[in-house]
Homo-oligomer: A and B are copies of this chain.
Amino acid sequence: MSEGADEVEQVTDDVLVLLLRQLTVESDRFAEMFGEAHGLHRTDLNALAVIMDAARMGAPMSPSMLASALHLSASATTSVLDRLERAGHLYRDRSATDRRKVELRMHDQARQIGAEFFLPLGERYAAAWRDMGEEERRTVARFLRGSIAATVEVRGRLAP
């Protein structure tokens, strides 16, 4: 009302909240469409991501670790793994040291899907962020870390 046409934008808290919500909505939708294109459900995609992260760290996942990472019951985890194994994305290995345990290993096919998932998005992100200077990146990183911590904390209050 009182601003001129060349007034700079006022980025209120409400604007930031709205942007965060849009971002999560769009991310969800992206994952949903990607999964649909590959015959994978959300849970399967999440499972692949967790297993892949663990593999990158050199520590193979077990079904029970996966269950707690995904907040799934043990039985639901078994059927997720059944689906992924049937589709040829991973295979189960009995642990050599503790034969109760199962180690989850990925097939190259899944790695390829992961790459297909993340590469285009990563490249497009890089392009979007290309002109950001170091100081700006630190600002954004601080913002993101603060927002993550806020989310975690409020969630913590929910579960006593």
Contacts and interface: CB of A to CB of B under 8 A. Distances in A.
A151 B26 contact: yes
Interface residues of A, number: 56
Nearest to A20: B144
Interface in A96-153: 120-122, 124-129, 132, 134, 136-141, 143-153
A22 interface: yes
A5 interface: no
A157 B120 contact: yes
A152 B26 contact: yes
Interface stretch (A6-14, A59-67, A78-86): A6-14
Contacts of A148: 19, 22-23, 26
Tally of this chain's copies = 2
A126 B121 CA distance: 29
B22 A125 contact: no
A2 interface: no
Interface string A67-94: 0000100000000000000000000000
B30 A154 contact: yes
Contacts of A137: 11, 16
30 contacts: A11-B138, A11-B141, A13-B129, A15-B141, A16-B125, A16-B137, A16-B141, A17-B122, A19-B148, A20-B27, A20-B125, A23-B24, A23-B148, A23-B151, A26-B148, A26-B151, A29-B71, A29-B155, A30-B151, A30-B154, A30-B158, A33-B159, A37-B158, A124-B150, A124-B153, A124-B154, A129-B146, A139-B139, A139-B140, A143-B143
